[in-house]
Amino acid sequence: MNQQFGVCNLSLVPLRAEPSDRSEMSSQLLFGDHFTILETTEKWSRIITEYDDYEGWLDNKQYVHINQSAFNTISNQNSILGLGPCHKVLRTDVNSVLYLMTGSRIPHTIDNYFYLGDNRYQLQSGIVNPNKHDFRSSIRDVLMFYLGAPYLWGGRSLFGIDCSGFTQMVFRQFGVKIKRDAWQQAEQGELLGFLQEARTGDLAFFDNEEGRITHVGVMLDNQHIIHASGKVRIDAIDNQGIYNVELKRYTHKLRIIKRMIK
173-187 confidence digits (pLDDT tens): 999 999 999 999 999
Judge whether 203 and 216 are in contact, CB under 8 Å.
yes
pLDDT higher than threshold 90 for residue 213: yes
Catalytic residue among 8, 34, 87, 215: 215
> Does 4-128 match 132-259 in CATH topology?
no
What is the rounded average pLDDT for all residues in the chain? 96
| Known catalytic residue at 108 | no
Q: Is 163 a catalytic residue?
A: yes
Confidence of residue 126 (pLDDT cuts 50, 70, 90): confident
Q: Which of 34, 87, 227, 252 is catalytic?
A: 227
Mean pLDDT of 143-164: 98
Q: Where are the domains of the chain?
A: 4-128, 132-259
The active-site residue out of 8, 34, 163, 252 is 163
For residue range 60-101, list pLDDT tens digits in order: 999 999 999 999 999 998 899 999 999 999 999 999 999 999
Contact 127, 114 (CB under 8 A): no
- Residue 1: pLDDT over 80: no
Answer yes or no: 227 catalytic: yes
Rounded Cα distance between 78 and 206, Å, is 31
Q: Out of 3.90.1720.10, 3.30.1450.10, 3.30.450.40, 3.40.50.10860, which CATH number does the structure's domain 132-259 have?
A: 3.90.1720.10
CB 121 within 8 A of CB 90: yes
Domain 4-128 - what CATH class?
mainly beta
The reported pLDDT for the residue numbered 260 is 97
CB 101 within 8 A of CB 10: no
Q: Which of 74-78, 151-155, 180-184, 240-244 has the lowest mean pLDDT?
A: 74-78
CB 19 within 8 A of CB 57: yes
Query: Alpha-carbon Rg of the chain, whole angstroms?
Result: 19
State pTM to two decimals.
0.96
Return the pLDDT at 36. Answer: 98
